[in-house]
Structure 1
Amino acid sequence: MSDQDQTLDTLIHDFTSMVETSTLIFEKKFGTRDIRRLWHTRAIKRRGRVTRGVKYELHGIGCRINLSTGTVDFDYGPNGEINGFDIRRLYFFACERPSKYRKYCDKKIIEKEFAEYIDLKKIKKISLISNLYIWTN
Structure 2
Amino acid sequence: MNNKESLGELARDFLSSVDEATFLLEEKFGTRCILRLWGSGKIKRCGVVKGNVTYELHGVGCAVKLPHVLVDFDYGPDGRIDGFDAWRLFIYASELPEKHPKYQSKEVLNLEFEEHVASGRFEPMPKGRNGFYCLSKNN
Smaller-chain TM-score bracket: over 0.9
Residue matched to 2:91: 92
What does 1:7-26 correspond to in 2, within 5 Å? 7-26=6-25
What does 1:5-84 correspond to in 2, within 5 Å? 6-84=5-83
1:37 partner amino acid: R
- C-alpha distance in 2 between matches for 1:116 and 1:61: 27
Residue matched to 1:3: 3
- C-alpha distance in 2 between matches for 1:128 and 1:70: 30
1:23 partner amino acid: T
1:3 partner amino acid: N
Deviation at 1:3, TM superposition (A): 1.1
TM-score (norm 1): 0.95
2:41 partner amino acid: R
Deviation at 1:128, TM superposition (A): 5.1
Runs of 4+ in 1 over 3 A off after TM superposition: none
Unaligned runs of 5+ in 1: none
1:132 partner amino acid: F
Deviation at 1:16, TM superposition (A): 0.1
Identity %: 42
Bigger relative contact order (CA 8 A; separation at least 6): 2
Deviation at 1:136, TM superposition (A): 1.8
Give RMSD over aligned pairs: 1.0
- C-alpha distance in 1 between matches for 2:136 and 2:96: 26
1:83 partner amino acid: D
Deviation at 1:122, TM superposition (A): 1.0
2:136 partner amino acid: T
Residue matched to 1:132: 132
Bigger shift: residues 88-97 or 121-130 = 121-130
